[in-house]
Amino acid sequence: MSSTATMTVTDVKANKGMNLVPTYEIKLQLDPTVVLDADHKLNSTVQSTFGMPAAATRINVGFLDTSCTQLFEAGWCVRVRRVEGEPSLDLTYKKRFDIVVGDIDAALTTANANGFNASDKKYEARVECRHKKQTLTVRRIKEAATSDDTGVDLPSTRDSRRLLREEAPERFDNWGCKKWGTAILAAARIFGPVMVRRSIGDWKGMKLYVEVWPILDAEGTGLDYIVEASFKTDNRATAAAEQTRLQEVLMSKGWFLAGDMSKTQLIMERYGCYPGLENTDLKEC
């Protein structure tokens, strides 16, 4: 039998276009007990080391999913985000693919087989590199107008659902079946919101971001502070080399915290304990 005759549906999808060309984002955790001051803000030593201003930018983030996290379990992350000083609201639809044993190209091929390839310029591929774990994400970002130009308030749960459903891209909406995504969003609630503080400095000519995420603790009575340093590059070799160098610097200063924590997963777990079903159109998953 010829190879053409044995080609699977997945093979056909994979050959519709070239694989996406990803950018690379390095994400390393910092020890909050060392790098934050008494007010849980980035301390001046870290700021001066990386040439960061004293004032941080606020970013308000809310993730939408059902109480049983149907989107997250299917590998999707859907969020609304408002950055201080920016006039619009970001609507993000992100699909994640595991990278096994560092095989980035295999993950890109899997994404291609699922309809994400280089022929569609509306989607951005990114390899997220943590301490040891790597993940491929493919995202589509849309913008929505806000009622004011200076605040960081997010829309209500109802309005967030409406905006995300109205702007839902086809690949997300029809992922499981026709109108899969918007049907799930109709029953969604907000996980969060989380008010992030972002400082921007420099690492080897690239923008270095250090973000402080105050996330509900496991008991639901206080906050855990997740601190993450990150930079982006288009070059795979640069990403690997500079990840090693940045980690060495952080370790030498006693700031590095080994771990591969996903902030999104932590938020889904922590805020999932508080269903808030009064904010949903549907009462059950």
Total-model pTM: 0.89
Structure tokens, 9? 């549906």
Q: What is the dihedral of CA 106, 111, 113, 116, to 10 degrees?
A: -140
- 135-187 tens-digit pLDDT: 999 999 999 998 777 789 999 999 999 999 999 999 999 998 999 999 999 99
Q: Which structural domain range is residue 200 located in?
A: 18-275
Residue 264 lies in a domain: yes
Is the Cα torsion angle 73, 124, 128, 105 positive or negative in sign? Answer: positive
Query: Is there a contact between 152 and 195 (Cβ–Cβ < 8 Å)?
Result: yes
pLDDT given at position 146: 85
Residue 281 lies in a domain: no
Residue 174 lies in a domain: yes
Query: Is there a contact between 85 and 235 (Cβ–Cβ < 8 Å)?
Result: no
Residue 133 lies in a domain: yes
Residue 176 lies in a domain: yes
Residue 6 lies in a domain: no
Query: Is there a contact between 231 and 209 (Cβ–Cβ < 8 Å)?
Result: yes
Residue 263 lies in a domain: yes
Q: How many domains does the chain have?
A: 1
Query: Which residue's structure tokens are 């390899």?
Result: 127
CA neighbor of 213 nearest in space, from 265, 278, 168: 265
pLDDT given at position 273: 66
pLDDT given at position 16: 65
Where residue 87 sits, what CATH number does that domain have? 2.40.320.10
pLDDT given at position 284: 33
Residue 27 lies in a domain: yes
| 280: pLDDT strictly greater than 80 | no
